[in-house]
Structure 1
Amino acid sequence: MRQIPLGLGPDEPHSFDNYFPGPNAAVVAHLHALNSHQRPAPVYLWGEAGAGKTHLLQSLALEVKALGGRVGWYDAGASPEMDFDDTWRLLVLDDSERYGPDQQQRAFALFVQATTHGQLIASAGRWPPVDLPLRDDLRTRLGWGHVFHLQPLSESDCRAVLRQAADRRGIFLSDDVMSYLLTRFSRDLGSLMGLLDRLDRFALAAQRAVTVPLLKQMLAEERQ
């Protein structure tokens, strides 16, 4: 079971408002408070794929921008040549476990420069810093400040997230459909949200209510 945004259209930006905190309320509160500090300590979030790490980093970036700050975003798809900007309020280092050698070197340099200029640094990876497949100096920097492990949602929270997501899409999910989704598919809620989107479109095209038979029909047609 993994955390997902409650936001429901693909164009809705990730924010703290559409993140279901569950057992991670203290992490969200900490991130919320960062903008009130002049020189906050770095933050590192870790957890398995789908845990909500990027959602929270994007939420923090959105909040910084809303307050007039600029954000530098560096992830596994970024160029090793990305320039540092001393006007950033926030530097984000996402997908850190996927950095190649050149990206690791650049991420380390960005981290040092951001620290020197008193910028907020928020980073994330799939594992705790000590276990990241990175050069030692970068691992040390990522684990220097506050490190948070994003905890998975309970099954009841998982159901609540899906229910709210479906309600905001105008889909009625019966208990039978909910149980079918949670017992027969991976509880990666990111994947389940994609399934929910496809099911919504399929039901609209068929002009039928969302039921287990309709779900089975959609899956059968997708396999053809």
Structure 2
Amino acid sequence: MLPPMRQLLLDLMPESPPSLANFVGDGNEEALAALADWFSGPQPLFLLWGEAGSGKSHLLQASGLHYVDGAQDPLLAGAPAEAEGLAVDNVQALAEAGQIALFNHFNRLRLAVENGRPGKLLVASDQPPAALQLREDLRTRLGSALIFRLRPLSDEEKLAALAAQAADRGLKLSREALTYLMNRSSRDMRTLAALLAALDRYSLEHKRPITLPLLREVLQHAGDSTV
């Protein structure tokens, strides 16, 4: 049987799937505005690039398009041939066959758009198109996209976002407590937000104030603590 806190986290995570509303976009406002405009515009291709932790996967999964991760599916076997909307993550990890499949998909999509049918292709990579080690024809196609870089949040920005979320919940957490939480768990904002929600619920259910000992208990039960 799972420890209560770990089960609580598992229960919480499905309730907060990636969405545009729960993406912390500090410093990426221009990219987010362009992405929102793109969904209703004529351009079929949009590319986000940035280092790990910048939120690319979050936005692709939140897009509502059919999501495929090139790191998990390098052949793009999970991409439907006729998908009107496709989001391909980690395009830099595609194998040769996957690159050909994406190239062909883009050509079909462009033809569909030219004939008045809707279609969108959202792509994410760890580098801009010109630096990707991909087939030249695919790299050229990707270079024709609307291209925006996502900047990862700094530690200070993550702390500020956590503090704001805590305040929205009516929680009074010191900077020391927030730093402790961030330094001893996964640093992506979705996990941190889920931990904060779990902490709030755990505190209410056990009628205990949120203190560092309670934080340690939560993280140890969750299996995330390093102490």
TM-score range, shorter chain: 0.7 to 0.9
The answer to whether the 8 A contact 1:24-1:150 is kept is yes
1:59 aligns with 2:54: no
**Identity among equivalent pairs (%):** 35
* 1:115 corresponding residue in structure 2: 110
Counterpart residue type for residue 56 of structure 1: L
Q: Match for 1:163: what amino acid?
A: A
Question: Match of 1:47?
Answer: 50
1:67 aligned partner: none
Conservation of the 8 A alpha-carbon contact between 1:42 and 1:146: yes
Aligned letter for 1:53?
Answer: K
Aligned residues: 205
DSSP 3-state at the match of 1:121:
strand
Cα distance change on mapping 1:186 and 1:18 into 2, 3 Å: closer
Contact 1:129 1:139 in 2 (8 A): yes
- Equivalents in 2 of 1:131, 1:190: separation in Å? 29
Q: 1:22 aligns with which of 7, 23, 26?
A: 26
Q: Which whole-Å CA distance do the structure 1 matches of 2:167 and 2:47 have between them?
A: 33
- Greater shift in the superposed pair: 93-102 or 26-35: 93-102
Contact 2:53–2:152, Cα closer than 8 Å, also in 1: no
Superposed CA deviations along residues 142-200 of structure 1, whole A, max 9, x for unmatched, are 22222111112244432232124335566542222013334566744345345445645
2: CA distance between counterparts of 1:55 and 1:150?
Answer: 11
2:79, 2:86 within 8 Å by CA — same for their partners in 1?
A: no
Q: Distance in 1 between matches of 2:208 and 2:139?
A: 52
Aligned equivalent of 1:146: 146
Uncovered stretches (5+) of structure 1, i.e. residues with no partner: 1-7, 62-70
1:40-78 deviations in Å (ceiling 9; x for gaps): 1521101122211122223333xxxxxxxxx44333245
Q: What RMSD in Å do the two structures reach over aligned CA positions?
A: 3.2
Match of residue 11 from structure 1: 15
Match of 2:67 in 1: 73
Give the superposition deviation at 1:19.
2.0
Distance 1:97 1:167, change over 3 A: farther
Instruction: Encode CA deviations 1:126-148: one digit per residue, 9 max, x unaligned.
Output: 22223334333222222222211
Of 12-21 and 198-207, the range deviating more from structure 2: 198-207
SS state at 2:163 partner:
helix
How far, CA to CA, are the matches of 1:81 and 1:18 in structure 2? Answer: 27
Instruction: Tell me: CA distance 1:219–1:34, structure 2 relative to 1, closer, same or farther (3 Å).
Output: closer
Report the alpha carbon displacement of residue 26 of structure 1 after superposing the two structures with TM: 0.8
How has the CA–CA distance of structure 1 residues 204 and 24 changed in structure 2, closer, same or farther, with 3 Å as cutoff?
same
Q: Once the 2 structures are TM-superposed, how far is the Cα of residue 13 of structure 1 from its aligned partner? A: 4.0
Unaligned runs of 5+ in 2: 1-11, 114-118
- Pairing partner for 1:85 from 79, 82, 86: 82
